[in-house]
Amino acid sequence: MSEFSLIDRFFSNIGKAKEDVIIDIGDDAAVVDVSQKKRLAISVDTFVEGVHFPAQTRAYDIGWKSLAVNLSDMAAMGAKPLWVTLAITLPKQDDEWLAEFSRGFNDLAIRFDVRLIGGDTTRGPLSVTVNIFGDSSESSGLVRSAAKPGDKIYVSGFLGDAALGLQSFSKQLPLTTTEQHGLQFKLNRPIPRVKEVLALKSFINSSIDISDGLYADLNHILSASGVGALVYINQIPVSREYQWCCNGLQSYDVALTGGDDYELCVTVSAEKEAQFLDCTEQFETPWSCIGEIKAEQGLLLLNANYEEYRVAGHAYDHFLSDS
């Protein structure tokens, strides 16, 4: 099959067709109508086999997750996702793999109403790069740098499950096979919190998506905003499976430093907290208050006895060992 029929077959109709796509896949570039949009949010993420996902990851999951992580960046910015492009490098043409990959990508694209409008297809070691464009026209786009002293810190969902899912491939966990599959599902099929954030954003001061672990990502909010925070670690939301794995909660390290959760961490001013919580009621996803922003710099973690909790390990950093 030629490169062109491959594109035609697997990539030419991903996501619902959109009126604001003037030239879709098939020409030298896509053309979109931005006349109704005053500001675009733009982000790109690359996924490399062996680095971002284990070699045994199913094609469907790679398709799903490579789009999910980009949608999660739009959620963090309070932007409405619109269009994506996809640059994919494949070791060989494997129709079954491509069909599954595009099915995973399409299922999420339909769910969040984004259209694949272009890309590039090359041969080489497996790698997937997705570029996303979102509408950030409404006045209340979100940033990391607007946390204020007194803000309450909220996180969505449960933290640490994805990291445990990854551990379960190489380590014996005290869980049934079904429970381990549940954690692996959290790793492979994150649900970006786009719908939640679009409803909640007028009550939020600052926001980030948790991709490298809460500890590292909350620190990004703190340094960008020039503030500090107090976090009560026993308020960090963790699943039952997490509690069984991490010694009846002796350790919150995986929840604090494990990656791949793709939940949101937001700060909410005290005046808007009640409205924020009311608005969260419409979603299944729980939102948990884990602490508070302080004027004094630094991130202080406290355990149930109000003693300082020190984190072992740190967030994944691609270049840490080089420096």
Residues engaged in binding ligand ADP (CB under 6 A): 7, 11, 25-28, 86, 88, 116, 118-121
By CB under 5 A, is residue 113 in contact with Mg ion?
no
- Which segment (50-58, 97-105, 116-124, 200-208) binds Mg ion by CB under 5 A? 116-124
Q: How many CB atoms lie within 10 A of CB 221?
A: 26
The CB-of-116 to Mg ion minimum distance in angstroms stands at 15
The CB-of-79 to ligand ADP minimum distance in angstroms stands at 21
Instruction: Report how far residue 46's alpha carbon sits from residue 154's, in angstroms, rounded to the nearest whole number.
Output: 28
Question: 95 is in the binding site of which of Mg ion, ligand ADP, none (Cβ under 5 to 8 A by kind)?
Answer: none
Per the CB < 8 A criterion, the answer to whether 218 and 153 are in contact is: yes
The CB-of-286 to ligand ADP minimum distance in angstroms stands at 36
**Of 69, 169, 211, the residue nearest 128 (C-alpha):** 69
Q: How many CB atoms lie within 10 A of CB 279?
A: 17
The CB-of-82 to Mg ion minimum distance in angstroms stands at 22
Identify which of residues 121 and 288 has a Cβ nearer to Mg ion in the complex: 121
Identify which of residues 119 and 182 has a Cβ nearer to ligand ADP in the complex: 119
Identify which of residues 120 and 296 has a Cβ nearer to Mg ion in the complex: 120
Question: 121 is in the binding site of which of ligand ADP, Mg ion, none (Cβ under 5 to 8 A by kind)?
Answer: ligand ADP
The CB-of-120 to Mg ion minimum distance in angstroms stands at 5
**Of 210, 226, 45, 320, the residue nearest 218 (C-alpha):** 210
Classify residue 306 as exposed, middle or buried by CB count within 10 Å of its CB (0-12, 13-18, 19+).
exposed
The CB-of-39 to ligand ADP minimum distance in angstroms stands at 24
* β partners of residue 293: 229
Instruction: Report how far residue 146's alpha carbon sits from residue 49's, in angstroms, rounded to the nearest whole number.
Output: 35
Quote the radius of gyration of the chain (alpha carbons, Å).
20
By CB under 5 A, is residue 120 in contact with Mg ion?
yes
Per the CB < 8 A criterion, the answer to whether 53 and 62 are in contact is: yes
Identify which of residues 33 and 120 has a Cβ nearer to Mg ion in the complex: 120
Identify which of residues 7 and 254 has a Cβ nearer to Mg ion in the complex: 7
Identify which of residues 98 and 311 has a Cβ nearer to ligand ADP in the complex: 98
CA 89 to chain centre: 22
Pairing mode, strands 263-268 and 152-156: antiparallel
Question: 182 is in the binding site of which of Mg ion, ligand ADP, none (Cβ under 5 to 8 A by kind)?
Answer: none
Instruction: Report how far residue 161's alpha carbon sits from residue 164's, in angstroms, rounded to the nearest whole number.
Output: 5
Identify which of residues 25 and 246 has a Cβ nearer to Mg ion in the complex: 25
By CB under 5 A, is residue 3 in contact with Mg ion?
no
Question: 128 is in the binding site of which of Mg ion, ligand ADP, none (Cβ under 5 to 8 A by kind)?
Answer: none
The CB-of-126 to ligand ADP minimum distance in angstroms stands at 13
| Closest-approach residue to Mg ion (CB) | 120
Per the CB < 8 A criterion, the answer to whether 66 and 45 are in contact is: yes
The CB-of-119 to ligand ADP minimum distance in angstroms stands at 3
Q: If you write DSSP's letter for every residue of 181-237 in order, what string do you get? A: HHHHHHHH-----HHHHHHHGGG-SEEEEESS-HHHHHHHHHHHHT-EEEEEGGGS-
- Which segment (27-35, 114-122, 246-254, 315-323) binds Mg ion by CB under 5 A? 114-122
Q: Given the rule CB under 5 A, which residues bind Mg ion?
A: 120
